[in-house]
Amino acid sequence: MRRELASAKLDLDIVKKAVVFRERVAVRYAWIEQHCDQFHVTRMCRQLGVSRSGYCQWRTRAPSDRSMANAALDARVTAIHAGSQRSYGRPRIVRRLREQGVQVSHERVRNSLKRQQLRPLYKRPYRVTTDSAHRKPIAANVLDRRFDGWEVNQAWVADVTYVATGEGWLYLACVMDLGSRRIVGWSMSERMKAELVCQALKSAYWRRKPAAGLIMHSDRGSQYASEGHRQLIKDYRMIQSMSRRANCWDNAAMESFFKTLKVQRTHLLRYDIRAGAQLDIVDWIEGFYNHKRMHSSVAIRHQSTLNRGS
C-alpha cells in the first residue's frame, strides 16, 4: 500500500510540475530531458503520453534546421529584451529584429518569448497628484490631445512626478518634445514649488532655443499657473496650453513617460538619498530613453535618429 501511495505521489508531482501536456511532442521530450534527475524517464513518458523509444531517438537525433534557427532567434530576442531593460514586448522586438536585417514574423517572436518565459514590465495604476484648486489664470487647451504629427520644436508637454527615497520625496519636472518624444528639459527638487517647473522649462529652452509660436502644454496645477512660469512662456514667445480640470488624458504623453520611468527604473530600485536618485534618473533619461528606446508613436526610428542635428 505504501509503495502504491508513493508511486501515485510521484505521478501527481509530475502532473503538477509539467505545463507541456498540450505542447508538441518535441517540447514534452525537452521537458523530460530537463527533469531526468527528479523523476524516472519511463514514469515521465507515461504521464506525458509519449513513448520511451521515441524519447531515446529524440536524444540521439541531430538538431533540425528549424530548432537551430529557433535557438539563434532566441539568442537575439533575449539580447534585445535585456538591452531594453526588460521593457520591450513583441511589437518592438519584431521592429528591432527587422532593423537588424532579420525578417521574422510576430508569431515566431511570440513563441520565442513564450519559450524563454520573457515578459515586458507592466505599468502600475496611475495616481493623480495635480493640485488645481487655485484661482490663478488658466490657459485654454490649445493642444487638444494632438500628440502626433508634430515636427521637432513645435509642441512640448510638461508635468511633475515624485520618486521615493530614504530621505523623503524627490520631485521631478520634465519637458517632452512631441516631435521626437525626447525629454528636452528636466529639474529635480525636494520641494514641489513653482521654481521646479520653471527650471525645467529654462533647461529645455536653452538646450533647444525654439522659434516663436511653440505650444507649451501642461496640466493646470498651481506650479504651471504661477506668475513665474507664465512669464517665462511669454518671454520665450510660446503659446501656453493647459489640460482640462481633472483630465489626465489631456496630457497623456507625459503621463505615459512617467509610468515608463517608474516601471522600468525607479520602482526596481531603492534610493537611500535624493542625490543618488537624481544621478540614476538622469542616466536613465540620457543614457537610455532619449537615445536607445524605441517609441511606438514615432514608428521604428530611434529617439537619437529623430534628434540628430537638433
pLDDT digits (tens, 9 = 90+) for 178-206: 999 999 999 999 999 999 999 999 999 99
Same domain, yes or no: 230 and 279: yes
The model scores a pTM over 0.75? no
| CATH code at position 246 | 3.30.420.10
- Boundary residue ending a domain (52, 87, 116): 116
Q: Which range marks the domain in which residue 159 is found?
A: 155-306
Residue 136 lies in a domain: no
Q: Specify the number of domains making up the chain.
A: 3
Same domain, yes or no: 54 and 72: no
Residue with cell 532579420: 102
Query: How does residue 308 score in pLDDT terms, banded at 50, 70 and 90?
Result: very low
State the pLDDT at residue 19.
66
Residue 220 dihedral angles phi and psi, to the nearest 5°: -100, 30
**What is the signed CA dihedral for 252, 254, 304, 185, rounded to 10 degrees?**
150
Same domain, yes or no: 196 and 272: yes
Can you say whether residue 259 is alpha, beta or left, with left for phi > 0 and alpha for psi between -120 and 50 degrees? alpha
Residue 230 lies in a domain: yes
Q: Percent of the chain scored above 90 by pLDDT?
A: 41
Residue 79 lies in a domain: yes
Give the C-alpha separation, 148 to 179, whole Å. 7
pLDDT higher for 95 or 280?
A: 280
Q: For the ranges 82-86, 101-105, 160-164, which has the lowest average pLDDT? A: 82-86
Triad 147, 205, 241: Cα angle to 5° = 40
pLDDT higher for 38 or 300?
A: 38
Q: What is the mean pLDDT of residues 74-86?
A: 79
Residue 288 lies in a domain: yes
State the pLDDT at residue 298.
54
pLDDT higher for 261 or 79?
A: 261
Give the C-alpha separation, 120 to 279, whole Å. 25
Give the N- to C-terminal CA distance of the chain in Å, as an integer. Answer: 79
Say if residue 126's pLDDT is above 70: no
pLDDT digits (tens, 9 = 90+) for 64-76: 777 778 778 888 8
Give the C-alpha separation, 258 to 66, whole Å. 41
Task: Note whether 35 and 42 are within 8 A (CB).
Answer: no
Residue 138 lies in a domain: no
Same domain, yes or no: 227 and 248: yes
- Boundary residue ending a domain (60, 89, 104): 60
